[in-house]
């Protein structure tokens, strides 16, 4: 498929993914629960880790699930109607939507939950591998951020091993974005000041 039709499909898949990804579940759920604006708590991030700082584990879990499934649904819907290639475009859009939601001044989350959700929709065995790696690193080090960084670094390699080069290339880019979004965490890990799981930030 070439010409304006392919460009229109590309743009539509990207836009649909972006709109799905930009739904700020952390902000919506905390507001519905009557807590303070999540952007004024802890790191100011809208993701599940910061929602957990409200002390409401159920809200944090719901945020994690919502942020993951918005990615999963975006790729599954586009793959159903437009095929695998457009599903990868939608995945990129969903990830960018989560990181840079237009509704919140382009200040969103760090992408880990949505990353997992996209893997779930495109290559579910790698999503399981990501979670297992995260759990192993988190158990060994007690650093949530380090666990996410290691799991994200492993995902493109595992996708390549599964014979999915296009997916590996996409998640290579998403991993780079994930690391960039975690640059402050990386700095604290290097300095030994990053907060550990179970301890206050």
Give dist(CA 187, CA 201) in Å, integer: 15
* Residue 199, in any domain of the structure: no
Average pLDDT, the chain: 90
Q: Is residue 200 part of a domain?
A: no
The better pLDDT of the pair 4, 52 is held by: 52
Structural domain harbouring 26: 4-191
| pLDDT given at position 79 | 97
Q: Distance between CA 165 and CA 176 in Å, rounded?
A: 17
Angle among Cα 11, 125, 101 to the nearest 5 degrees reads 35
- For the cut 50, the answer to whether the pLDDT of residue 58 exceeds it is yes
Written as six digits, the tokens of 170 are: 């996409």
Q: Would you say residue 195 has pLDDT above 60?
A: yes
Establish if 196 belongs to a structural domain.
no
**Is 113 inside a domain boundary?**
yes
Of 87, 90, 88, 108, nearest to 99 by C-alpha is: 108
How much is the pTM? 0.91
90 in a structural domain: yes
pLDDT grade for 85, boundaries at 50, 70 and 90:
very high
**Domain total for the chain?**
1
Residue 100, domain member (yes or no): yes
Torsion-angle region of residue 11: left (phi > 0), alpha (psi -120 to 50) or beta?
alpha
Q: Tell me the pLDDT band of 141, cut-offs 50, 70 and 90.
A: very high
Does residue 129 register a pLDDT over 50?
yes
Q: What is the mean pLDDT of residues 25-45?
A: 78
Where is pLDDT greater, at 105 or 91? 91
Is there a domain that residue 201 lies in?
A: no
Q: Is the pLDDT of residue 1 over 60?
A: no
17, burial (CB in 10 Å: exposed 0-12, middle 13-18, buried 19+): buried
Residue 143 lies in a domain: yes
Q: Calculate ∠ Cα 22-93-4, nearest 5°.
A: 130
Percentage of the chain modeled with pLDDT above 90: 70
- What confidence score (pLDDT) does residue 84 get? 96
């Amino acid at each position: 498929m070439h010409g304006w039709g392919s460009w229109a499909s590309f743009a539509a898949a990207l836009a649909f993914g972006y709109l799905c990804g930009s739904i700020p579940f952390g902000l919506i759920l905390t507001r519905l629960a009557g807590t303070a604006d999540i952007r004024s708590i802890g790191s100011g991030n809208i993701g599940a880790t910061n929602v957990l700082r409200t002390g409401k584990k159920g809200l944090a879990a719901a945020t994690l699930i919502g942020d993951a499934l918005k990615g999963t649904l975006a790729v599954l819907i586009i793959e159903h109607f437009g095929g695998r290639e457009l599903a990868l475009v939608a995945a990129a859009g969903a990830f960018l939507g989560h990181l840079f939601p237009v509704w919140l001044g382009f200040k969103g989350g760090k992408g880990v939950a949505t990353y997992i959700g996209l893997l779930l929709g495109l290559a579910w065995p790698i999503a399981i591998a990501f979670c297992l790696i995260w759990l192993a690193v988190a158990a060994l080090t007690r650093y949530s951020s380090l666990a996410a960084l290691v799991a994200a670094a492993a995902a493109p390699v595992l996708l390549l091993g599964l014979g999915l080069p296009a997916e590996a290339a996409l998640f290579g880019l998403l991993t780079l974005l994930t690391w960039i979004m975690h640059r402050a965490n990386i700095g604290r890990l290097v300095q030994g000041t990053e907060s550990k799981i179970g301890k206050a930030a």
